[in-house]
Amino acid sequence: MLRRLIAAALAAALVGCASIDDKPPPLPAQADALQFSGKLSVKVTGRDQGGSGSFDLQGTPRAGQLELSSPLGQLIARARWDGQSVLLQTPKEQRRYPDLDSLTQDLLGEAIPVAALFDWLRGRPWPDAPSQALEGDTKGFRQLGWTVDLGGFAEKGLIVARRGEPSEVVLRARLESPGTGQ
């Protein structure tokens, strides 16, 4: 009886939530393509912006795709980029942006360095910008105004990136699968 009640509640919740149903065309083959999946949260202090859910990031900073899913597993946003522009699809609309920083700036009020995120999720600094190792026994580095804490990376696949200026932004990613060449 309890199982039926839970199943009915979940079914009602799913009917009430919009999602993205169509499958995009496959990404172009790239020798250096990576794929990451896991849980992601972003919080912008002082604003009512951010959120959490599951993510699937694939491709490269030049051409790729990021899908975000609700805690119940529904696809709620897909961003695809090809070096020319970024297409954001949500259940309600489609929007184009000139680049990934513009997309995150519009959605969160703060730019998230998605190009650097591909390397940060591999537990290393992005090679296209200077970085500095954190002091002492703390695992991680500073880059692009962010402090990337890798203390939980080896055991839990956890990355915590923080930026304090102009607004505090905290990005947490827990990987379910490590980056792999595709």
Residue 81: inside a domain: yes
Distance CA 120, CA 125 (A): 6
Nearest to 72 by CA among 50, 52, 57: 52
**135 found inside a domain:** yes
Which three-class secondary structure state does DSSP give residue 16?
helix
- Asked if residue 159 belongs to a domain, the reply is yes
Q: Is residue 21 part of a domain?
A: no
What are 34-75's pLDDT values in tens digits?
899 999 999 888 766 778 889 999 999 999 999 999 888 889
The answer to the question of residue 117 being in a domain is yes
Asked whether residue 12 is assigned to any structural domain, the reply reads no
- 150 assigned to some structural domain: yes
Q: Which residues neighbour 79 within 8 Å (Cβ) at sequence distance 6 or greater?
A: 65, 66, 86, 87, 88, 89, 100, 103
Q: Which two tokens stand for residue 80?
A: 């695809």
Q: How far apart are CA 132 and CA 78, in angstroms?
A: 33
Q: How many domains does the chain have?
A: 1
DSSP 95-109: EEESSHHHHHHHHHS
Give the pLDDT confidence of 72-117 residue by residue, as tens digits. Answer: 888 989 999 998 999 999 889 999 999 998 998 888 788 889 999 9
How far is the C-alpha of 73 from the C-alpha of 47, rounded, in Å? 26
- Nearest by Cα to 81 from 45, 118, 126: 118
CATH, residue 54: 2.50.20.10
Could you tell me the residue range of the domain that residue 72 belongs to? 34-176
- Cα separation, 75 vs 69, in Å, equals 4
Q: What is the pTM of this model?
A: 0.80
Is residue 132, in this structure, part of any structural domain at all?
A: yes
